[in-house]
Amino acid sequence: MKTAAVFVVFACLLILHVQGQAKTGVSRCLCQGPAANVVRIKNIDKIEFHPASASCENVEIIVIMKNGAGKRCLNPESEFTQKYIMTALKKK
């Protein structure tokens, strides 16, 4: 009887431990796949900056294009992106 009770308690603890484990490999990044190194500045309507977070370990820079042309992810390490961001920050 004691063995069965110990087994049940152990099984419950194991189930609780397994349910509490974080899923690895699940990314909630907005940018999937390769990002653009360059876009035409005159076609940019708005820029969004998303720093690294618990849900996505990447810094994401998303530009919203004019005339409903959609969104594009920019490579934060490209020279174009860094110059564009510095220019945008100076204007504010």
pLDDT in tens, 59-72: 999 999 998 889 99
Could you tell me if 36 and 75 are in contact, meaning their C-beta atoms sit under 8 angstroms apart? Answer: yes
Domain count, the chain: 1
Locate the DSSP E strands across the chain: 44-50, 60-65, 71-74
| pTM exceeding 0.85 | no
Q: What is the CA radius of gyration of the chain?
A: 23
73 pLDDT higher than 90: yes
Residue 6, domain member (yes or no): no
What CATH number should be reported for the domain holding residue 81? Answer: 2.40.50.40
- The 44-50 sheet, strands edge to edge: 44-50, 60-65, 71-74
Q: Reduced to 3 DSSP states, what percent helix, strand and coil does the chain have, rounded to the nearest 5? A: 40, 20, 40
pLDDT digits (tens, 9 = 90+) for 6-60: 555 555 555 655 444 455 556 689 998 888 888 888 888 998 989 999 889 989 9
Domain that holds residue 86: 26-91
